[in-house]
Amino acid sequence: MVQVRGSKQDSKHTTSNGNLRFKAPFGYYGSKLRLVSRIVDGLPPHNAWVEAFCGSAAVTFAKPPAPIEIINDLNDEIVNLFQQLRNNSDALCRSVSLTPYSKTEFRDSRKSMEVSDPVERARRFLVATMMTVNGTYNGNAGGFSVSQSYSRNGKEARVSRWYNLPERLEAVVERLKHVRIENRDARELVKKFSDRPATLMYLDPPYNVSRSFKYVIDPSDEGFHEELLEACCESNCMILISGYDNPLYKSVLKRKYGWTKEKISATTRATDGKDLSRVEVLWKNDAFIAAKRANRIPINLSASERKGKKLNPPRKHRRTRFQNF
């Protein structure tokens, strides 16, 4: 079992192979900020990348760009934030820089995000997620986050994090210009790419356990998860699923379809700010495993496809357990 702990990162840094990695621009409940390096380092080559439950898009920002990239979330606030970052970054960053780290701002933003100005709506979302404990912003979940003990850069730690947020936002603006932003049911997205073997799809579904109430919109009923897993198992693309171990996923993925299961010991933060030890699970389908072992994209492009730069064409679905290419 791999041991992973969170560590302080800059807004962006360069890896040993020269790839530039960005830190997610905001914190969000359930995001994989503390596992992101482990996930990215284990990805196989691909021509298209889809993050179906993107949240803060931590994995997308940490990995090298692919020729085709899609991030998706059902949460309208997340989608609006990324759209404003891509299209109105100057106005949004200025608005954030003029916002004090204040409990009043936090309380007012969490009351309502239903404003006509999309930039103001994005600012309120950032206030609600960045000034709360653990990125929980709906209802009464997660109180105003303060630090009585720690200082960063001459400021109280939480104030410092908020003060540096515009810089973090600006760091990902160029990266977002290469990304398509979707706002649809993840089950539809999985089916849409099911016949495209050059696609690598990453899913971090809302947990179908008691913690799922922290998510505002994402579905968390067992029926949704059953349909999602069946769609994944019918797919011809490379798929990686992360989450906590549970009987449903074990039954469908491991026992029924023989997916590879990897356990990772990690720390997560509770709503009271305390670190908790948890075991995360990475589920990998056979196409993912085969591509990683071969270290190549699992598709042979025709001459006309290469000439036309058609890098993610559909292919007839193969229902074999182990993919050879």
Complete DSSP assignment for 38-51:
HHHHTPPP-SEEEE
pLDDT of residue 265: 83
pLDDT score at 144 = 80
Supply the pLDDT for residue 31: 52
Q: According to the model, what pLDDT value does residue 156 have?
A: 78
What pLDDT, on the 0 to 100 scale, is given for residue 29?
Answer: 55
Q: What is the pLDDT of residues 248-258, one digit of tens each?
A: 999 999 888 99
The pLDDT value given to residue 9: 39
Amino acid, single-letter form, for residue 103: K
List of the chain residues with pLDDT < 50: 1-10, 13-18, 209-217, 271, 320-325
80: which DSSP letter? H
Domains along the chain with CATH numbers: 2-76+177-296 (3.40.50.150), 83-173 (no CATH)
- Summarize pLDDT for 173-221 with one digit per residue, the tens: 989 989 999 999 999 999 999 999 999 999 999 875 444 444 444 556 7
Long-range contacts from 295-299, C-beta under 8 angstroms, 24+ separation:
295/44, 295/45, 296/45, 296/325, 297/44, 297/45, 297/46, 297/47, 297/198, 298/197, 298/198, 298/238, 298/323, 298/325, 299/47, 299/197, 299/198, 299/325
Query: CB of 176 within 8 A of CB of 119?
Result: no
Check: CB of residue 186 under 8 Å from CB of residue 37: no
Model pLDDT, residue 13: 47
pLDDT for residue 221? 78
Which pLDDT does position 16 carry in this prediction?
A: 39
pLDDT of residue 8: 36
| Closest C-alpha to 191, from 246, 252, 127, 235 | 235
State the alpha helices, DSSP H only, in the chain.
Answer: 36-41, 58-62, 76-87, 89-97, 103-111, 118-130, 157-163, 165-171, 173-176, 186-192, 222-233, 247-249, 286-294, 303-307
What per-residue confidence (pLDDT) applies to 323? 40
What is this structure's pTM? Answer: 0.83
